[in-house]
Amino acid sequence: MNKKALAFSCQVMLNVPSPDNKTADAERLKNKLEELGLHDVSIPLHILKNLPEELRKNRFGVKLVVGRKKHGYEVQDFGRDNVYGLAIDIGSSNIACSLFNLDSGEKADTLARENSQVKFGSDVLSRVQRSMLGESALLAEELLSCVNELIGSICRNNNVSPDDIFAITVAGNTIMSHFFLGLDPRNISVSPYIPAVNSAVFLYAGDAGVYVNKNAVIYVFPNAGSYVGGDIVSGILFCGIYREEEPVLFIDVGTNAEITLGCRDWIMVGAGAAGPALEDGIAGIGKRAADGTISGVRIDRGTKDISLEVISGIEPVGICGSGMTDLVSELFSSGIIDQAGEFIESAKGVTDRDGEKAYMLFGSEDRKLLVSQREIKNFLLSKAAMFAFLYVFVRSVGLTFSDLKKIYIAGALGCGINLEHAVNIGMLPDLPKERFMPVGNSSLGGAERLLLDESLLHEIENIMPMITYREMNEDPDLMNALRGALFIPHTEPSMLKE
């Protein structure tokens, strides 16, 4: 019995009833489970209906599936050979899912796919706007269908019956969590930016419309604020920020930039619109990381020849965020753009496209990939917004970058980006490389940990009162910090270290 997981199998042998022991079947089972350390166990009606027969046909030895509830435990089923669980990260762009055998604690597989809601808009705010036009239910249905398709795929790939899945943990930003729960998110986007719910939600898979065992327990991570959701709470849990003795910085960049600063005594979170630099919204040839996407760029300092790193090694069709960061850094270090991001007209690779200067990344008979002057400027605006956000956020509590001994980086920023290039262009503070700790998909990582260790529910309850949500959209210091950050690396390089 692995009673640490959110659901697990449990073999019990009960005392046989007798004239001297007339305890009812349900109470007899609860008493035994109590002896095993499982307190406050409930037995729902559908289990109670079958309990007498199950006990007697097995001579009062019975194998159960037991799941965690908000308070205590619940008997979910009888006689399962395997009990599985899922950890799910619902991102605005992609949904990732990990499948675990909950009895052994072994991960069977991880799978991801594009969030099919992107057809309604690439960012969450555009989807909320669709909700305000009366399409909230349609968006919720789209997301649920996408989640169910992903669950079906990972189960088929691993020869697992969805009916053997008894626990699911879900982490997502506030708006994605609302859509998953079928809640209308329209009030999140208008002042005073009020969600329907911020606290954690326990529910049954059957009520949520998720195609696993209908009695499976689903835990949806709590939100920290309107634009800082359960994915960040899950990341805080994963990185252990709430246990750090000294303040650390946690940066998660996807569609938005979400920042956490704190330690075991306090945690502050905030969000800003700096994410498109690492998504597909900056350049016309911008793509999410997939086959044929340029993920890395190098330019020879002497010859100015360009070499590309392309996912799957095929002919490139576009460039992702890490590739764009590399490109701007290499263009600057090679003298092809100046500190303001302006192309040097005589430099190798610089050409003209519709009366505007552009740089040729790749050219063949069938395809030409160019990045224009305007797109370079757009990228610098996005990187400047991100740096200004970091700078103001850290300074607001009386700290400087040099005070930070650890900087955890997650999301698109923590998946494949070249840290040296990000520092070179002033996207990240100029600190020793060993202080940066890429953690990949920390949202999924936290959901996985909770799935396997129900004691972390108590940790999350302790984390939430520690969190202060800081609204950054109207901070007057942001604009002042933004101006200098529009240049490479900055008009005042000392600010990168302060």
Same domain, 98 and 31: no
CA distance 187 to 168: 27
Residue 298 lies in a domain: yes
* Better-scored residue on pLDDT, 237 or 496: 237
- Which backbone phi and psi does 149 adopt, to 5 degrees? -65, -40
Q: What is the CATH number of the domain that holds 28?
A: 3.10.20.880
* CATH number of 113's domain: 3.30.420.480
- pLDDT value, residue 273: 60
Placement of tokens 């609860």 in the chain: 30
> What separation, in Å, do the N-terminal and C-terminal C-alpha atoms of the chain show?
52
User: Do 153 and 207 fall within a single domain?
Assistant: yes
Residue 234 one-letter amino acid: S
* Mean pLDDT, rounded, of the chain: 90
240 with 160, same domain? Answer: no
Shared domain check, 378 and 259: yes
Residues of 255-274 as b/e, b for ≥16 C-beta within 10 angstroms?
bbbbbbbbeeeebbbbbbbb
The whole-number pLDDT of residue 487 equals 94
Tell me the pLDDT tens digit for each residue of 128-167: 889 888 899 999 999 999 999 999 999 999 999 999 999 9
Number of domains in the chain: 3
At residue 302, the 3 state secondary structure works out as coil
**Domain-terminating residue out of 34, 51, 78:** 78
The whole-number pLDDT of residue 255 equals 66
- Single out the residue of 97, 82, 43 nearest to residue 210, CA to CA: 97
Sheet holding 165-172, edge to edge: 106-114, 94-101, 84-90, 165-172, 217-220, 201-204
* Whether 63 and 194 share a structural domain: no
Above 80 in pLDDT, residue 180? yes
- 3-state class (DSSP) for residue 246: coil
The pLDDT of residue 414 is above 60:
no
End of a domain among 220, 239, 267? Answer: 220
Calculate mean pLDDT across residues 61-65: 93
The whole model's pTM is what? 0.91
In a domain, 248, yes or no: yes
36 within a domain of the structure (yes/no): yes
Whether 319 and 388 map to the same domain: the answer is yes
Question: Which residue carries 């499948």 as its tokens?
Answer: 99
What stretches of 212-291 adopt beta strand conformation (E)?
A: 217-220, 248-253, 257-262, 267-272
Provide the residue range defining the domain that includes 48: 7-78
Same-domain pairing of 257 and 153: no
pLDDT of residue 382: 86
Structure-token pair, residue 46: 């559908």
Full DSSP string of 337-402: B-TTS-B-TTSTTEEEETTEEEEEEEE-SS-EEEEEHHHHHHHHHHHHHHHHHHHHHHHTTT--GG
Residues 50 and 183 in one domain: no
Q: Which secondary structure element, helix H or strand E, spans residue 235, and what is its range? A: helix 230-239
331 and 411 co-located in one domain = yes
Residue 192, preceding bond cis, omega within 30 degrees? yes
| Residue 261 counted as domain residue | yes
- 2 belongs to a structural domain: no
- Which one of 173, 195, 220 terminates a domain? 220
Question: 238 versus 311: which is more confidently predicted?
Answer: 238
Q: Tell me, yes or no, whether 310 lies in a domain.
A: yes
d(CA 233, CA 269): 10
More confident residue, 242 or 226: 242
Q: Is residue 108 part of a domain?
A: yes
Do both 45 and 170 map to the same domain? Answer: no
* Within-domain flag for 1: no
Q: Indicate the SS3 state at residue 376.
A: helix
Q: Are 280 and 122 in contact (CB under 8 A)?
A: yes
**Do 38 and 128 sit in the same domain of this protein?**
no
Mean per-residue pLDDT for 437-449?
Answer: 94
Residue among 337, 339, 338 at smallest CA distance from 348: 337
Backbone angles phi, psi at 398, to 5 degrees: 80, 20
- Give pLDDT tens digits for 444-467: 999 999 999 999 999 999 999 999
Q: Say whether both 235 and 327 belong to one domain.
A: yes
Side by side, which strands form the sheet with 368-372? 350-353, 356-363, 368-372
pLDDT band at 214 (very low <50, low <70, confident <90, very high): very high
